[in-house]
């Protein structure tokens, strides 16, 4: 019965140490198992309290039955499912989201906050789970384009004036004929009427324009996406308190697994059939 004796000895040593007594000379405390070490690093949460905003379709909004839905909302639910945690998702006005988090009224905010140095001064943000790239759109009737600086040389490109998209075009597509407009809507109208050959704009906004009635079915994405962080930012993450590094690690692990299982792709196709990013 040597095995039984060994188990009994380990139990006795653990009990002896728990009572505050030093271990006998030459005795060693039982080594922690890999599972115990893992649990120590990432303790689970019974519930995660999320805040979001309710009027930013298709990311977070109230549907015709007044039910909260959207890409961000489903991402929050997927995170909770991965972490075996209950999910509490509440709606607040945009301006109240971060203040409420900092007051401890929630654990995380999932409402399309861009990762930026300004944000990181007050809160922390998880790994990116989507970004908003620049995209070109052009007429469906146009033959296949080489959407590169060389391929678009001399082409007339509409863009909203004073935007990051204009700055990007001037930096990388300077040999194109860049036509600026006061608003994105005017730039889009120029593409519809044929006053320009292409439009460069925010990819997410273009998805809804291309799918909506305003575009009159004129156009489609051409090339892309373009996601240079200097112009379009570092993407969007889940906002957490700076002191809650444990939750940040848990959410990052969940986001990684959501991608590897294919769940992320499912959500993208549900809300962005044109694949904006």
For residues 241 and 124, give the distance between their C-alpha atoms in angstroms, rounded to a whole number.
6
Residue 122 has pLDDT above 90, yes or no: yes
Domains of the chain: which residue ranges? 47-131+234-271, 134-232
Instruction: Round to whole Å and give the CA distance between 270 and 255.
Output: 18
Residue 30 pLDDT more than 50? no
What pLDDT, on a 0 to 100 scale, did the predictor assign at position 208? 85
Mean pLDDT of 177-194: 97
Please check whether residue 73 is in contact with residue 89, taking contact to mean a CB–CB distance below 8 angstroms.
yes
Q: How far apart are the first and last CA of the chain?
A: 63
Q: Which residue has the higher pLDDT, 22 or 224?
A: 224
With cut-offs at 50, 70 and 90, classify the pLDDT of residue 276: low
Given this model, what pLDDT does residue 136 score?
Answer: 96
Residue 17 has pLDDT above 60, yes or no: no
Q: Rounded to two decimals, what is the model's pTM?
A: 0.73
- Which pairs count as long-range contacts for 205-212, CB under 8 Å and 24+ apart, including other chains? 206/135, 206/137, 206/276, 207/272, 207/274, 207/276, 208/58, 209/137, 210/137, 210/274, 211/273, 211/274
- CA-nearest of 184, 198, 111 to 156 is 198
pLDDT band, residue 257 (cuts 50/70/90): very high
| Amino acid 275: pLDDT | 67
For CA atoms 7, 9, 11, 17, the dihedral sign is negative
Those residues whose C-beta lies under 8 Å from the C-beta of residue 235, and which sit 6 or more positions away, are 114, 115, 128, 129, 130, 131, 132, 227
Q: Architecture of 134-232 per CATH?
A: 3-Layer(aba) Sandwich (3.40)
**pLDDT beyond 50 at 1:** no
Locate 134 and state its tokens.
Answer: 């620049």
Question: What span, in angstroms and rounded, lies between the C-alpha atoms of 225 and 3?
Answer: 62
Q: CA-to-CA distance for 86 and 29, rounded, in angstroms? A: 37
Whole-angstrom CA distances from 68 to 64, 72, 74 are 10, 10, 10
23 has a pLDDT exceeding 70 = no
> What CA–CA distances, in Å, run from 136 to 58, 164, 198, 201, 273?
21, 14, 7, 7, 17
Q: Supply the CATH classification number for the domain 47-131+234-271.
A: 3.40.190.10
């Amino acid at each position: 019965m040597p095995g039984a004796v060994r188990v009994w000895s380990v139990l006795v040593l653990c009990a002896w140490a728990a009572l505050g007594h030093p271990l006998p000379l030459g005795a060693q405390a039982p080594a922690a198992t890999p599972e115990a070490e893992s649990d120590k690093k990432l303790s689970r949460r019974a519930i995660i309290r999320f805040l979001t905003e309710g009027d930013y379709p298709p990311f977070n909004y109230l549907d015709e039955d007044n039910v909260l839905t959207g890409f961000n909302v489903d991402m929050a639910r997927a995170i909770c499912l991965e972490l075996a945690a209950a999910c509490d998702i509440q709606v607040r006005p945009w301006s109240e989201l971060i203040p409420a988090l900092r007051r401890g009224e929630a654990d995380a905010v999932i409402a399309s906050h861009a990762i930026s140095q300004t944000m990181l001064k007050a809160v922390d943000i998880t790994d990116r789970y989507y970004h908003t790239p620049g995209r070109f759109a052009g007429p469906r009737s146009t033959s296949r384009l080489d959407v590169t600086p060389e391929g678009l040389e001399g082409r007339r490109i509409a863009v909203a004036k004073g935007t990051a998209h204009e700055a990007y075009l001037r930096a990388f597509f300077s040999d194109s004929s860049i036509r600026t407009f006061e608003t994105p809507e005017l730039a889009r109208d120029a593409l519809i009427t044929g006053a320009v050959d292409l439009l460069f704009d925010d990819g997410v906004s273009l998805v809804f324009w291309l799918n909506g009635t305003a575009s009159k079915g004129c156009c489609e994405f051409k090339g892309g996406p373009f996601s240079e962080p200097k112009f379009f930012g570092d993407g969007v993450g889940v906002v957490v308190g700076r002191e809650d590094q444990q939750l940040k690690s848990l959410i990052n692990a969940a986001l990684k697994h959501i991608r590897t299982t294919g769940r992320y792709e499912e959500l993208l196709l549900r809300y962005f059939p044109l694949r904006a990013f």
